[in-house]
Amino acid sequence: MSITNEQIERINALARKKKQEGLTDKELEEQAVLRRVYLDSIKANFRSQVETIKVIDENTGEDVTPEKLKNIQREKGMRD
Helix or strand run (H / E) with residue 32: helix 25-50
**What is the structure's pLDDT at 1?**
65
Cβ contact 38:46 at 8 Å: no
Q: pLDDT tens track of the chain, all 80 residues?
A: 689 999 999 999 999 999 999 999 999 999 999 999 999 999 999 999 999 999 999 999 999 999 999 999 999 998 87
Cα torsion 24, 26, 27, 32 to 10°: value is 130
User: Domain map of the chain by residue range?
Assistant: 5-76
Residues forming beta bridges with residue 63, ordered by sequence position: 56
